[in-house]
Chains A and B, each alone.
Chain A
Amino acid sequence: MTTPAKTSDAADAAEAAGPKHAGADGRPEPSGPARALRAITGELRRMPYLLLLPGIAWLIFFFLVPLYFQAKMSVSSGTLDKGFDLTWTWSTFSAAFEDYDEHFLRSLYYAGAATILCLVLAYPLAYTIAFRAGRWRSLLLVLVVAPFFTSFLVRTLAWKTILSDNGTVVGFLNTLHITDVTATLGLTEGDRVLATPLAVVTGLTYNFLPFMILPLYASLERIDPRLHEAARDLYASPASTFRRVTLPLSMPGVVAGTLLTFIPASGDYINAQLLGTTRETMIGNVIQSEYLRVRDYPTAAAMSFVLMAVILVIVTVYIRRAGTEDLV
Chain B
Amino acid sequence: MNSRDNRSGSPSDFGPEIDAALETMSPAVRAAAIRSMTTGRGAALRNAMSRRSILRGSAMAGLAVAGGSLLAACSDDDDKKDSADDGGSGGAGQVVFSNWPLYIDVAEDDENKHPTLDAFTKETGIKVKYTEDINDNNEFYAKIQPQLASGDDTKRDLIVLTDWMASRLVRLQYVQKMDPANVPNAVKNLDPRFKGNTWDAKREYAYPWTQLSTLIAYNSKATEGYAPESVDDLLTNPKLKGKVALLTEMRDTVGMVLLSMGKKTESFTDDDFNAALAKIQKAVDSKQIRRFTGNDYVQELASGDIAACLAWSGDLIQLQADNPEVQFVIPKHGYATGTDELLIPTKAANKANAEKLIDYYYRPEVAAQLTLSINYVSPVVGVQPELLRMDPAIASNQLVMPSPETAAKANTFRALSEAEETKYEEAFAKVIGV
- Complex-state Cα separation, A83 to B142, whole angstroms: 10
Considering the chains assembled together, what is the distance between the CA atoms of A154 and B16 in angstroms? 10
Residues of B within 8 A of A290 (CB): 429
Q: Does B329 contact A (CB under 8 A)?
A: no
Q: Is B139 part of the binding interface, using a Cβ–Cβ cutoff of 8 Å?
A: yes
B65-84 interface with A by 8 A CB criterion:
66-67, 70-72
Segment from A52-60, A138-146, A159-167, A316-324 that makes contact with B = A159-167
CB–CB B429/A289 < 8 A: yes
A270: contacting residue among B24, B66, B136, B431, CB under 8 A: B66
Binds A, one of B110-118, B285-293, B315-323, B343-351: B285-293
Q: Does A281 contact B (CB under 8 A)?
A: yes
By CB atoms of chain A within 10 A, which of B20, B289, B434 has the most? B434
Complex: how many Å from CA A164 to CA B434?
24
**Bound complex: CA of A222 vs CA of B58, how far in Å?**
46
Per-residue contact bits, chain B 112-141, to A (CB 8 Å; 1 contact, 0 not): 000000000000000000000000101101
Which residues B145-162 have CB closer than 8 A to chain A? 145, 149
Closest Cβ neighbor of B21 among chain A residues: A154
Partner of B303, one of A103, A161, A291: A161
* Residue A79 interfacial (CB < 8 Å): yes
What CA separation (Å) do A175 and B70 show in the bound complex?
39
Is B284 interfacial (CB-CB < 8 Å)? yes
Taking a contact as CB atoms under 8 Å apart, the answer to whether B290 and A277 are in contact is yes
Q: Which residues of B contact A161 (CB under 8 A)?
A: 299, 303
Which partner residue on chain A sits nearest B426 by CB separation?
A294
Query: For the complex, is A186 an interface residue (Cβ under 8 Å from B)?
Result: no
B426: chain A residues at CB < 8 Å are 294, 296
| Interfacial residues of chain A within 247-287, with CB under 8 A of chain B in the complex | 269-270, 273-274, 276-281, 285-286
The answer to the question of A117 belonging to the interface, with a C-beta cut-off of 8 Å to chain B, is no
With both chains docked as a complex, state the minimum distance between the C-beta of A144 and any C-beta of chain B, in angstroms: 17
Asked whether A310 is an interface residue with its Cβ less than 8 Å from the other chain, the reply is: no
- Across chains A and B, the number of contacting residue pairs, with CB separation under 8 Å, is 152
Are A278 and B62 also in contact (CB < 8 A) when A294-B429, A295-B138 are?
Answer: no
> Shortest beta-carbon distance, B60 to chain A, in Å?
8
Find chain B residues with CB under 8 A from A235 CB: none
Nearest residue, chain A, Cβ from B50: A153
Taking the closest CB of chain B, its distance from the CB of A187, in whole angstroms, is: 15
Check: B31 CB closer than 8 A to any chain A CB.
no
Known: A153-B63, A160-B296. Is A276-B71 also a contact (CB below 8 A)?
Answer: no
A6 within 8 A of B: no
CB of A221 closer than 8 Å to a CB of B: no
Residues in B with CB closer than 8 Å to A297 are 1
The answer to the question of B418 belonging to the interface, with a C-beta cut-off of 8 Å to chain A, is yes
Whether B418 lies near A69 (C-beta < 8 A) is no
List of A residues within 8 angstroms of B1 by Cβ = 66, 69-70, 73, 291, 297, 301
**Of B2-10, B383-391, B394-402, the one with at least 4 CB within 8 A of chain A:** B2-10
Q: In the bound complex, what is the Cα–Cα distance between A166 and B305 (angstroms)?
A: 7
Of A19-27, A32-40, A190-198, the stretch lying at the interface with chain B is: A190-198
Q: Separation in Å of the B337 CB from the closest CB of chain A?
A: 21
Give which listed residue, A69, A158, A279, contacts B24 with CB less than 8 A. A158
Asked if B24 and A166 make an inter-chain contact with CB atoms under 8 angstroms apart, the answer reads no
Contact check, A151 vs B429: say whether CB atoms are below 8 A apart: no
Complex Cα spacing A166 to B307, Å? 12
Given contacts A151-B67, A293-B250, contact A189 B287 (CB under 8 A): yes
Chain B interface, >50% SS class: helix
CB-nearest residue of chain B to A81: B418
Q: A83-B149, A165-B304, A192-B242 are in contact. Are A154 and B20 (CB under 8 A)?
A: yes
Q: Does B190 contact A (CB under 8 A)?
A: no
How many B residues touch the partner, as a band? 35 or more
Per-position binary interface string of chain B over residues 408-434, scored 1 when its CB falls under 8 Å from any chain A CB and 0 otherwise: 000000000010011001101101111
**A277 touching B434 in the complex, CB below 8 Å, given contacts A160-B303, A192-B242, A292-B59:** no
Answer yes or no: B61 CB below 8 A from chain A CBs.
Answer: yes
Are the CB atoms of A160 and B16 closer together than 8 Å?
no
B168 at the interface (CB under 8 A from A): yes
Interface centre among A154, A286, A304 (most CB of B within 10 A): A154
Q: Which of A150, A152, A288 contacts B62 (CB 8 A)?
A: A288
Contact flags B17-35 to A (C-beta < 8 A → 1, else 0): 1001100100000000000
Residues in A neighbouring B21, C-beta threshold 8 A: 154
B residues 252-310 near A (Cβ < 8 Å) are: 284, 287, 289-292, 294, 296, 299-300, 303-305
Select the residue from B1, B16, B136, B284 with max chain A CB neighbours within 10 A.
B1
B201 within 8 Å of A by Cβ? no
Contact between A277 and B425 (Cβ–Cβ < 8 Å)?
Answer: no
A296 to B427, CA, bound (A): 13
Determine which residue in B304, B425, B433 has the highest number of CB atoms from chain A within 10 A of its CB, and name it.
Answer: B433
Asked whether, in the complex, the Cβ of A81 is within 8 Å of the Cβ of B138, the reply is no
Q: Residue of A at shortest CB range from B62?
A: A288
A292 to B24, CA, bound (A): 31
The interface residues of chain A lying within 8 Å CB-to-CB of B66 are 152-153, 269-270
Query: Do the beta carbons of A153 and B71 come within 8 Å of each other?
Result: yes
Complex interface: chain A residues within 8 A of B70 (CB): 151-152
Which residues of A sit under 8 angstroms from B432, Cβ to Cβ? Answer: 278, 281
Minimum C-beta distance from B350 to chain A (A): 26
Contact assessment for A79 and B418 in the assembled complex, using a CB-CB cutoff below 8 Å: yes
In the assembled complex, A80 has its CB within 8 A of some CB on chain B: yes
Answer yes or no: A157 CB below 8 A from chain B CBs. yes
B172 within 8 A of A: yes
Please determine whether B59 and A195 come into contact, CB atoms closer than 8 angstroms: no
Q: Which chain B positions have C-beta within 8 A of A294?
A: 422, 425-426, 429
A–B complex contacts, Cβ < 8 Å, 13 sampled: A66-B1, A160-B299, A164-B305, A194-B305, A270-B63, A277-B291, A281-B433, A286-B429, A288-B3, A289-B429, A291-B138, A293-B429, A296-B422
Q: Name B residues whose Cβ lies closer than 8 Å to a Cβ of A.
A: 1-5, 16-17, 20-21, 24, 50, 58-63, 66-67, 70-72, 136, 138-139, 141-142, 145, 149, 168, 172, 242, 250, 284, 287, 289-292, 294, 296, 299-300, 303-305, 418, 421-422, 425-426, 428-429, 431-434
9 closest A-B pairs by beta carbon, nearest first, are A278-B433, A281-B433, A289-B434, A288-B62, A151-B71, A153-B67, A292-B58, A285-B434, A286-B434
Supply 15 further A-B pairs (C-beta < 8 A) apart from A80-B138, A166-B304.
Answer: A70-B1, A81-B168, A151-B17, A151-B72, A152-B67, A157-B299, A158-B24, A160-B296, A164-B300, A273-B60, A274-B296, A277-B289, A281-B433, A293-B434, A294-B422
